[in-house]
Amino acid sequence: MNLTIKFDDLAFRAAMKDSVVKLKANGPELVKEEARLFIAEYMKLTPPFAKGNYGNHVGTKEDYEAGKNVIKGDLAQVASFDSLEHLQFVADNFGLTQIKQQLFKKGTNKPYLIDWDKIAFTIGELAKHHRSKMNARGRPPNRQKGAGGQGMGDTRIGRWVAKEKVIVPSEVYFGYLKQLYDAIGAAKASFNEAAFALGMKRIPPWVRRHGNFGSYSEGGDPANFVIFIGGQSKIPGAQRAVDQAIAIRAKKFIAELERIMKVFKNTGKIATRRKSFNT
């Protein structure tokens, strides 16, 4: 999905103009600064987030680990794993779907019951099943909280319940899990092309690795300088995050300019470290 940036806050636009006209700010540099700050705000509003980090950080190690934990937990709701040998034995003797059999632990007379929805042997099959269980937010339902023992957590000893789950070989399960981990950061990377072009330095490596998402170009002379930023995302709610980020930047910049103007009126000094006001 292509993301739309609407710079239509009249107060924000007026504040930008006042910065150039009344305080002699460098227009092109000011526009680039605000573009960088907008991208940073957007990244703060897109997952993953560690507890308490929503809206506060562009991406931390804790955010990355939180993303891994969410992915691991989500996959566990719809899939599980076993040895290839055991899965092949079950498949050969009882089929690939709706398997409910009492078996015995190898070398003993201790019984156990398997109650599985289906077996699969490839990452492609696992990925298809995983996608089929996702809701509109890209998350599977939490089966551990549902009634009827829908999950691996049945309390009766010897019973292995996996309703609406696919059971795959261990190497398939963890290989797919690695693929999912490799996608962490894609949501925050929607404007990577612009971020790189603008020289943003605070982008974590797990966001940078997703390459040049989006687009960036510049136009006009110094008096009428404009930049064109494009973004891309497959994450539900990404456009809402764009709109929120613009609104946040408008509010912050207007408040910042009011403070700068007040100090300038009283002292004749421009009290800011921004490069755009000091070039």
Q: What is the pLDDT of residue 58?
A: 94
DSSP 3-state of 207: helix
Dihedral over Cα of 72, 156, 165, 147: its sign: negative
Do 207 and 63 touch, CB atoms closer than 8 A?
no
Q: What is the pLDDT of residue 162?
A: 52
Give strand ranges (E) for the chain: 2-3, 79-82, 97-104, 111-119, 159-169, 215-219, 226-232
Q: What is the pLDDT of residue 98?
A: 87
Give the C-alpha distances (Å, rounded to integers) separating 173 from 56, 65, 97, 134, 142.
34, 19, 18, 17, 19
Question: Per-residue pLDDT tens for 177-224?
Answer: 999 999 999 999 999 999 999 999 989 999 999 999 999 999 888 878
CA dist., res. 163 & res. 250, Å (int): 50
Q: What is the pLDDT of residue 157?
A: 38
pTM for the complete prediction? 0.85
Per-residue pLDDT of the chain (279 residues; tens, 9 = 90+): 888 888 778 899 899 999 999 999 999 999 999 999 999 999 999 999 999 889 999 999 999 999 999 999 999 988 999 999 999 999 999 999 988 888 877 777 777 778 888 999 999 999 999 998 887 777 776 655 444 444 444 444 344 455 678 999 999 999 999 999 999 999 999 999 999 999 999 899 999 999 999 999 998 888 788 899 999 998 888 999 999 999 999 999 999 999 999 999 999 999 999 999 987
CA dist., res. 90 & res. 96, Å (int): 8
